[in-house]
Structure 1
Amino acid sequence: MKLLKNIISVAMSNIVNFGTSFIIGFILPTILTVGDYGNYRTYTLYLSIVYLFHFGFSDGIYIKYGGLEESDLDHQEVHSEHTFSLIFQLLVFAVMLIISLIRQDIILVLFSIVTFFMTMNTYHQNFLQAIGQFKTYSFGSITKSVVYVLFLLFAVFILKSDNYVLYIALNVLSAVVLFFFFEYHFYKEEGFHFNFDLAGKASLFRVGFLILIANMSLNFVGLIGNWVVKFGFENEVFAQYSFQNSILNVILLVVNAVGMVFYNLLSKNQNKKMIAMIKKMSMLIGIASGLAFFIFKIIIIFFINKYTPAIELLSITFIAIPYIIISKILVANLYKTQRSEKEYIRDSIAYAGLSLAFVSGVSFLTKSVPAIAWATTVCYLMWYLYASHKQFTFMRSNAKEFILIGSHMLVFYICANWLSTSIGLLVYLVYIVAILFALRKELVHIIQQLKVS
């Protein structure tokens, strides 16, 4: 029952985050110019690396306290780590702020400020997840999302502002609200004591940094296209590419909420047949999520048509969703549970490095943004094939799955780009129904097994 409540709490948090991302993803592009939206997305691109600035300390906290209960904690030690994190992040903030002021870049100044609050929020989130306080974790996340949407709506409909700096500042303010919520909860539960001690902190950095590097490498692949376009093309082109990426992230929020249930099954059951079934279900969920593309396409065409160039890019990256899901739900967690840290770090860094070289090479040779999107999609597919055919061979693809992969790429791209929106949606829906019919016996078996689990 407790496990179910935890899953529901986090799922609710994901649903609210989905709503927030949906609102932000479609409101801001309508009120900002393409250039200013590009500036706003530059800030959000910087946010994608903010987790690096705790240098693994928060990941070390997660590893140290994972599986413990509140009653198991040494509260003096917890206070010492919290105080250390505050002081350390203040020092990091000071250095970043000085550099930003020297460069006289308002986006970097705001990024420096939000980095302090977000890294401290990461500390609290990792600590709460580790000791099983999912209710507080989820409530904080929901509060931040709701506050940011209220700020956003106030700025749009009351202030009627088209200043991108204001919307960045509101994002910073929402992180501040979450910080004070977590701090209040921390002192309420742990008491108010100042306890600063350097003992044991180096080991937290050492353990956490290894996890940070591996996770960073995997997350980096999804950002390579953004970085390449940001520094290789005009700001308006970057805005188009970044817009489609923000839409992709909206659908992935929903997918991740579904994926959490499958990860829960995986954490309890290391049976290889069960994992293979979860892989197949994840792929089918990813293929079915392509239906959302047509909804987004209609919204873009009728309400924010200045972003119609992003539609083709979105159709390309949507093809990667099945492999992104499998990578996030299965591959990363299988590495953590069935491979050594050395192997995990080695493979993830190699994956990130090769992907960067490939996408950059494609950009250099073609000077084409759609080609960059295709290159990123290919990277996700190759990582899936490497993991399933080299590292975890019990997930190896058979001839039927290769046909599914190839047909999905072809059918989805044709439906998304060569057919009208309504006809494309209908044809793709028929394609999904045909897949489900062809795999009906396997699906019945999988559902029966999941019920037993």
Structure 2
Amino acid sequence: MEHKQNNDFFKNTIRVIISNFALLLSSILVGLILPKILGVEQYGYYKLFMLYSVYGALLHFGFVDGILLHFGGENYCEIDKRKLRCITRFFISLELIVSSILVICSLFIPNDIYRFIFIAVGVYSFILNTFTYFQYFTQAIMDFGFLSRVNMLQAISTSVIIIVLLFLIKIKAINYVIYRQYTYCFIITYLIILFTYMFRYHDLVFGEALSLGKMKKTILMLFKIGFPVTISYQISNLILNLDNQYISIFFNNKIFGEYSFAYSLISLTTTVLTAVSTVIFPYLNKQEISNAIKNYGLNISYILGLMYFLIAIYFPVQVFVRIVLPEYIGSLAFFRILLPGVGITSCISLVIFNYFKITNNSMKYLALGIGVLILAIVLNYLAYFIFKDPYAIAISSLVVLFIWYLLSNSYLYKRYTIERNKNTFYMLLMTLVFEFVTLIKNPIISLILYLIVYFGITELLEHKVVEYIKSLIVIHVREK
């Protein structure tokens, strides 16, 4: 039974990874072609819309995170649909009211550009938050096949819009595209995805529903458990992006561009991280707390083993950049420093955060996050003040990640008396190995050396993980 659950977990993870990779490709297409289609000024207006639309995601007030926490791991067929319909209709009504207020207030903005942008944000926030509600519910009931198909549809829709617009310009059917036109297309894409979710889960909207009065306590509970998670997630984003903010403030646009491009390269690796994060919580939430706690160290080991293997992507990527994008060679130094942080970030985002959620310690995680954010602000500023060097800020951000991991990891170990293992030492050792091996100029030699050391250290310190993966492969081969 346990092997079947593990096989299902890995199959669903691979499935979501593939769809997330399609989203990544569409994002690359947008990132490379859209600026050319819109031009500098129009592209700037569109990015302004995107900047403010991020805050629109906060207007669900934690409700969608509450849905994921409450229903994570449950069987869709066994959930009372009358309760779900009441919850769904309440949330759609709430978002419609909030978005309408934002749109109405935006009508009084005197500046035409900002008026359009905030009206668009108001409309988009309703679509996005309702879309996220269905997406999180799909994740909660572990319908990862459908989730993957929706991600593919989103990637294809976005890519088609960009390609069609580029084609129309090439054949001179249109001379240029303004930011308003692309913003309409962007919003319509999300509207199509929302309708796809609603068609799939029409039982959540249509049919007999319980009264709001009977569901009042449940709805309040969803806000209560979800709000700390939403705020914690936003604080995590601030911590992870703080170094980028400092670079944009204290250094010129060229250095900021190189630093930002390094983060774009890192996203090639975090695509896998996002996929695993999507799958892991419902599986953890489905387990008994005692069993989940017992497997905590092993789950950290899995993620570390996977991520420190995946950062070998540095070697082919740096060759690609040197040959195809020589103007971005300066990004490679930042890429090299920051990339091992993916292993640390993955432990925090995938495992530790989810364990805080399933053990109802979201408020504690929030408090730790606020403390780490303050520490990050101080350390990043000191790095700039003392060294006046962007590389110092990059190293400082890596130190902050490690401290964040130590604090949150230590809390779980002490709180639940978990048996200590070698994960922290493995993480630190592999980070140092990567940083030293990448000093070798020959990429082939450095890649081979890194993989040899990786497999050696992983076999020595994470032997259980190696044996477990081997057993899964054997079982999979036998099933075939």
TM-score, length of structure 1 as denominator length: 0.81
Q: Deviations over 1:416-449 (max 9, x none)?
A: 4562444433433333244345458555544478
Deviates more, 1:324-333 or 1:364-373: 364-373
Does the CA-based 8 Å contact 2:430-2:454 persist in structure 1?
A: no
Q: Give the Cα–Cα distance (whole angstroms) in 1 for the partners of residues 280 and 209 of structure 2.
A: 41
Q: What is the Cα deviation at residue 287 of structure 1?
A: 1.5
Cα 1:110/1:218, change in 2 over 3 Å: same
Task: Establish whether residue 425 from structure 1 lines up as the match of residue 447 from structure 2.
Answer: yes
Identify the residue that residue 152 of structure 1 maps to in structure 2.
Answer: 162
C-alpha distance after superposition, 1:33-79 (max 9, x if no partner): 79678877666665655532211122233344445444554545433
Could you tell me which residue of structure 2 aligns to residue 17 of structure 1? Answer: 20
1:117 is aligned to 127
Deviates more, 1:270-279 or 1:156-165: 156-165
- Which has the higher mean CA deviation after the structures are superposed, 2-11 or 405-414? 2-11
State the alpha-carbon separation in 1 of the partners of residues 46 and 386 from structure 2: 29
Q: 1:213, 1:74 → 2: CA distance? A: 29
Pick from 201, 207, 210: which aligns with 2:228?
A: 210
- 2:282 equivalent to 1:282: no
> For the residues of structure 2 that align with 1:334 and 1:408, how far apart are their CA atoms?
24
The answer on whether the counterparts of 1:217 and 1:352 sit within 8 Å (CA) in structure 2 is: yes
Hey, what does 1:319 align to over in structure 2?
340
Cα offset for 1:266?
Answer: 5.2
Output aligned runs, 1:169-248, within 5 Å.
Answer: 170-187=185-202, 190-191=205-206, 197=212, 200=216, 201-234=219-252, 237-248=255-266
Contact 1:10 1:138 in 2 (8 A): no
2:200 maps to a residue whose letter is H
In structure 2, the residue matched to 1:51 is 57
**Alpha-carbon offset, residue 231 of structure 1:** 4.6
Moved more, 325-334 or 71-80: 71-80
Aligned residue runs from structure 1 range 248-263, under 5 A: 248-257=266-275
Partner amino acid for 2:132?
A: T
The amino acid that maps onto 1:424 is S
Name the residue aligned to 1:383: 404
1:125-172 CA-partner distances (Å, limit 9, x unpaired):
223333444444333232212211222333345535986946665443
Instruction: Return the offset for 1:390.
Output: 4.2
Q: What SS class does the counterpart of residue 343 from structure 2 fall into?
A: helix
- Percent identity of equivalent pairs: 20
For residues 365 and 87 of structure 1, what CA distance do their matches in structure 2 show?
52
Rounded to whole Å, the distance in 2 between the matches of 1:169 and 1:315 is 38
Q: 1:133 to 1:279 in 2, by over 3 A?
A: closer
Which amino acid in the other structure matches residue 145 of structure 1? A
When residues 238 and 112 of structure 1 are mapped into structure 2, their CA distance, relative to the original with a 3 A threshold, is: farther
**CA distance in 2 between partners of 1:370 and 1:44 (Å):** 28
Aligned residues: 451
Distance 2:82 2:282 in 1: 32
2:19 is matched by which residue type in structure 1?
V
Equivalent residue of 1:289, what SS? Answer: helix
By how many angstroms is 1:30 displaced?
6.6
Write the deviation string for residues 394-419 of structure 1: whole angstroms up to 9, x where unpaired: 46465x953x4454334423444562
Alignment partner, residue 370 of structure 2: 349
Please give the alpha-carbon distance, in whole angstroms, between the structure 2 residues aligned to 1:130 and 1:225: 33
Tell me if 1:78 matches 2:88.
no
- The correspondence for 1:89, drawn from 90, 95, 99, is 95
Change (3 A) 1:42 1:395: farther
Matching residue within 428, 434, 440 for 1:412: 434
With 153-162 and 12-21 compared, the bigger mean Cα shift is at 153-162
Q: Which runs of 5+ in 1 are unaligned?
A: none
Any idea what the Cα deviations from partners look like across 1:377-407, whole Å, max 9, x if unmatched?
2221112222333431546465x953x4454
Alignment partners' CA distance in 2, 1:206 and 1:389: 26
CA RMSD of aligned residues (A): 4.0
Matched, 1:295 2:295: no
* Matched position secondary structure for 1:184: helix
Is the partner of 2:441 in helix, strand or coil?
coil
1:285–1:78 CA distance, 2 compared to 1 (3 A): closer
Asked if structure 1 preserves the Cα contact closer than 8 Å seen for 2:72 and 2:282, the reply is: no
Contact (CA 8 Å) 1:35, 1:236: kept in 2 or not? no
Q: Is the 8 A contact 1:22 1:250 kept in 2?
A: no
CA distance in 1, matches of 2:427, 2:10: 31
Q: Give the C-alpha shift of residue 235 in structure 1.
A: 5.0
Normalised to the residue count of structure 2, the TM-score between the two structures is: 0.77
* 1:66 to 1:366, Cα distance in 2 relative to 1, 3 A: same
Q: How far apart, CA to CA, are the structure 1 residues paired with 2:141 and 2:284?
A: 20
- Secondary structure of 1:419's aligned partner: coil
* Greater mean alpha carbon deviation, residues 346-355 or residues 234-243: 234-243
